[in-house]
Amino acid sequence: MAVPQPSPAGFRSIATRLGVKDGADDFVVVVSDEPTTSAAVFTRSRFAGPSVRLSRAAADRVRGVVVVSGNANVATPRGLEHATLLRGQAAEQLGVPAEELLIASTGVIGRPYPIERMLPGLRSSLTDPLPEADFAAVARGIMTTDTRPKLHTARCGGATVLGIAKGVGMIEPDMATLLTFFFTDAAVPQPELDAIFRRVVETTFNALSIDTDTSTSDTAAVIANGAAGPVDLAEFERALHSCALALVKEIAADGEGAGKTITVEVTGARDAAQAKRVGKAVVNSPLVKTAVHGADPNWGRVAMAVGKLHEEHDIDPERVRIAFGGELLFPAEQTEALLDRAARHLGGDQVTIRVELGIADGEFTVYGCDLTEGYVELNSAYTT
Amino acid sequence: MAVPQPSPAGFRSIATRLGVKDGADDFVVVVSDEPTTSAAVFTRSRFAGPSVRLSRAAADRVRGVVVVSGNANVATPRGLEHATLLRGQAAEQLGVPAEELLIASTGVIGRPYPIERMLPGLRSSLTDPLPEADFAAVARGIMTTDTRPKLHTARCGGATVLGIAKGVGMIEPDMATLLTFFFTDAAVPQPELDAIFRRVVETTFNALSIDTDTSTSDTAAVIANGAAGPVDLAEFERALHSCALALVKEIAADGEGAGKTITVEVTGARDAAQAKRVGKAVVNSPLVKTAVHGADPNWGRVAMAVGKLHEEHDIDPERVRIAFGGELLFPAEQTEALLDRAARHLGGDQVTIRVELGIADGEFTVYGCDLTEGYVELNSAYTT
């Protein structure tokens, strides 16, 4: 991946190897030259790791992020001590208060960091100041089972929004996704940034499910350093949303073992929340996911998945409509020609399933991927 | 499978082919000689099929069951008409009121019955009286993707409880499982039979999940004809429970593509309901299921699955204990010897995961199976 142009001004970074992973960068730091506004959301897992706990307690206006990849530092006896030590050393080297750095860590659960190996490398690699930010290297440095880095930018007046993300399994985010960070040189006041970020996350990362499993390490943050001056806030929200949605689609496409992305557009619901529940039921159904994998226009499995929501008493099969791509399959006469056209859509690598509930005008779109033999192979063989 | 001894007295049956499936029995009827007491529970799917709707409205004391396999008769324009016609014809041939027959149907969704082919065969095969019950043939006749019939018996005083079940995919029953029928010659009063049956279903079929998907056709019923006279009701409940649990374990072992059964025993919960939610989160996690498939002692994925229940604020990682078989893995020093012993347990075909929450004394056990390449292959290639 080429370094995208432009990058937000006023950020510095390093991506290096501290011996957590074999033969790849496993430690990155991004820091702003100047004070910032920022917002962040985290996993709600009861097994949230020490990195999440430290970052939750971080300052409102963080200066940067420290990310370790390859080890989640979760459910180990000295996890909090290690996370505190790593963040503290990084802060000391960079000359910023420790509570102004977010720390995040993903990878295997239940194994201690190789901390003796990590600390000397950390001290020798963190110069002050760091080199000018190389976001492409940062996007690569936070990967675990990802097959490719995920980075998107959007312009907003004279400012740039840049987002990176990692994570392709254990993904049904709830208030956040695995790891995603947005950096911008726009000046955005703190309360507005927080409100905008929560709205954006709700319709992007919280609309994504790879495999119904929720990580213990999910962290999403945006850091705005104001180097490009003030921007129109509505335009900023659109730019942030477009970056986030592009990252979500890339994560779905890179889902563990995935061959296709699945977009489920639910319309005609009582409200957006009901539409989201219906969309999640469809995109999470292993029988729907395997039917998509096999390019089988088996809309009966979509009906089954909608039907599982037995507490939604206003969902009436008589009013439900189900389409694959542009093809209405239920209700419809099941002709060979229709099923062939639907199968052709399912044979592509971007599948859209539409469910119209016929109740009111609530709508929500969710994102996921098919379930393949590759997912099973990867997760049977690999300790994550 | 040999016909088990003994069978409950006073039942008659037929298993035959009406052309729904290719080359296998697809139509069965079981009927009691004498009036009965009975109880039944059904899927709560919003897309429940016409068979479920007719059976829900059936009499309190049903005389028998009519089952079609290979076609669910769900989400088709004339489904209710067809189900009414089939049940009515069967009732006429057998000389019982139609509302005293349950009807059930499973298989592909969205395709009409080949009704013109079915009716003549139905009329010629249903003699009055039917032959004495052959429950082994009935258990085979209700199969769809099952690889083997499922039938268990238990004695209770001078009476027999016999249960049959089918279904190995689209299985996370909610108030019932795909299709399971219990026949007994015990005399059990109607209200007691209903209460006993609901208690038994709650800790057996409602504790089972193959793939988180819930069928549109789930039906569970018990029919008691009293031919063997009264029994001790506590003993009857134990007999019914043992039959139901044996069937649940067989369904899990025959789960689509499954190589291993997974039993998740949750203890130390606030109450049984919380223990059940924790158990379901673990047994439904694709990352836990693939780790079991790969015999990987990756208890971190169990911790992750427990952690997903973020609304259970009393779950404290500090008090949680996780074991595979008899091996406590969390908290524990992660020695090679320990991990080897855990991997050996996971290498067997009956895996037990124990989660102790350390809150109070609520407990619940759930049943499921691993996730394999075979599940993906089967459900990508086969229209169900």
User: Across the interface, do B317 and A44 touch by the CB < 8 Å criterion?
Assistant: no
User: Across the interface, do B300 and A110 touch by the CB < 8 Å criterion?
Assistant: yes
User: Across the interface, do B212 and A213 touch by the CB < 8 Å criterion?
Assistant: no
What is the rounded CA–CA span in Å between residue B9 and residue A39? 71
What is the rounded CA–CA span in Å between residue B164 and residue B220? 10
What is the least distance, in Å, from the CA of A293 to any CA of chain B? 6
Structure tokens at A216: 């213990």
> Does the annotation place B312 within a ligand binding site?
no
Q: Are the C-beta atoms of residues A312 and A277 closer than 8 Å to each other?
A: yes
The mean pLDDT value for A215-221 works out to 79
Any residues with CB less than 8 A from the CB of B153 and at least 6 apart, and which?
Answer: B4, B6, B7, B160, B161, B162, B163, B243
pLDDT in tens, B63-112: 999 999 989 888 888 999 999 999 999 999 999 999 999 999 988 888 89
Of all residues in chain B, the percent with pLDDT exceeding 70 is 95
Residues of A in contact with B309 (CB under 8 A): 46
Residues of A in contact with B308 (CB under 8 A): 45-46, 174, 213-214
pLDDT at residue A171, rounded to an integer: 63
The CA angle B318-B320-B326, to the nearest 5 degrees, is 135
Of A101-110, A266-275, A357-366, the poorest mean pLDDT is in: A101-110
> Does the annotation place A177 within a ligand binding site?
yes
> Does the annotation place B365 within a ligand binding site?
no
Q: Give the pairing type, strands B150-156 and B159-166.
A: antiparallel
- Work out the pLDDT band at B170, boundaries 50, 70, 90: low
- Work out the pLDDT band at A216, boundaries 50, 70, 90: confident
Known catalytic residues of B are 177
Q: Are the C-beta atoms of residues B310 and A44 closer than 8 Å to each other?
A: yes
The mean pLDDT value for B35-50 works out to 88
Please give the residue that has the higher pLDDT: either A15 or B59. A15
> Does the annotation place B160 within a ligand binding site?
no
Residues of B in contact with A72 (CB under 8 A): 300
Cis peptide preceding B114, ω within 30 of 0 = no
pLDDT at residue A145, rounded to an integer: 78
Residue B175, pLDDT > 50, answer: no
The mean pLDDT value for B122-147 works out to 91
The mean pLDDT value for B279-300 works out to 93
User: Across the interface, do A375 and B376 touch by the CB < 8 Å criterion?
Assistant: yes
Owner of token pair 């100047």? A34
Domains of chain A in sequence order? 11-253 (3.60.70.12), 261-381 (3.10.20.340)
Element housing A262 (H / E): strand A261-269
pLDDT in tens, B315-373: 999 999 999 999 999 999 999 999 999 999 999 999 999 999 999 999 999 999 999 99
Residue B171, pLDDT > 80, answer: no
Any residues with CB less than 8 A from the CB of A342 and at least 6 apart, and which?
Answer: A297, A299, A324, A325, A327, A329
Nearest CA in chain B to A300: B109
The complex scores an ipTM of 0.81
The mean pLDDT value for A75-85 works out to 93
What is the rounded CA–CA span in Å between residue A273 and residue B262? 33
> Does the annotation place A261 within a ligand binding site?
no
Of B72, B285, B376, the CB nearest to A372: B376
Best mutation target, A108, A172, A277, A310, to test chain B (most B CBs within 10 A): A310
- Work out the pLDDT band at A170, boundaries 50, 70, 90: low
Residues of B in contact with A215 (CB under 8 A): 304
Catalytic residue among A177, A204, A214, A261: A177
Of A46, A300, A376, the CB nearest to B307: A46
> Does the annotation place B290 within a ligand binding site?
no
β-partners of residue A319 are none
Best mutation target, B43, B45, B46, B314, to test chain A (most A CBs within 10 A): B46
pLDDT at residue A344, rounded to an integer: 96
Rg (CA), chain B: 22
Residue B45, pLDDT > 70, answer: yes
Best mutation target, A108, A218, A308, A318, to test chain B (most B CBs within 10 A): A308
- Work out the pLDDT band at A360, boundaries 50, 70, 90: very high
Residues of A in contact with B306 (CB under 8 A): 46-47
Structure tokens at A7: 């990058």
Residue A164, pLDDT > 60, answer: yes
Please give the residue that has the higher pLDDT: either A362 or B220. A362
Nearest CA in chain A to B216: A304
- Work out the pLDDT band at A103, boundaries 50, 70, 90: very high
The mean pLDDT value for B229-248 works out to 92
pLDDT at residue A147, rounded to an integer: 85
What is the rounded CA–CA span in Å between residue B88 and residue B99? 9
Residue A22, pLDDT > 90, answer: no
Of A64-73, A202-211, A225-234, B166-175, the poorest mean pLDDT is in: B166-175
What is the rounded CA–CA span in Å between residue B352 and residue A128? 53
Residues of A in contact with B334 (CB under 8 A): 110-111
The mean pLDDT value for A360-379 works out to 92
- Work out the pLDDT band at B383, boundaries 50, 70, 90: low
User: Across the interface, do A213 and B372 touch by the CB < 8 Å criterion?
Assistant: no
Of B213, B291, B376, the CB nearest to A304: B213
Residue A187, pLDDT > 90, answer: yes
pLDDT at residue A384, rounded to an integer: 47
The mean pLDDT value for A249-269 works out to 91
User: Across the interface, do A110 and B303 touch by the CB < 8 Å criterion?
Assistant: yes
Best mutation target, A304, A315, A373, to test chain B (most B CBs within 10 A): A304
User: Across the interface, do B303 and A109 touch by the CB < 8 Å criterion?
Assistant: yes
Q: Average per-residue pLDDT in chain A?
A: 90
Q: Average per-residue pLDDT in chain B?
A: 90
Of A286, A304, A309, the CB nearest to B109: A304
Q: Give the pairing type, strands B261-269 and B159-166.
A: unpaired
State the virtual CA torsion across B44, B48, B54, B57 in degrees, nearest 10.
20
pLDDT at residue B59, rounded to an integer: 81
Helices B115-125 and B79-94 pack at an angle, to 10 degrees, of 10
What is the rounded CA–CA span in Å between residue B149 and residue B3? 11
Of B75, B307, B308, the CB nearest to A330: B75
> A-B interface: how many C-beta pairs under 8 angstroms?
189
What is the least distance, in Å, from the CA of A311 to any CA of chain B? 8
Residue A87, pLDDT > 70, answer: yes
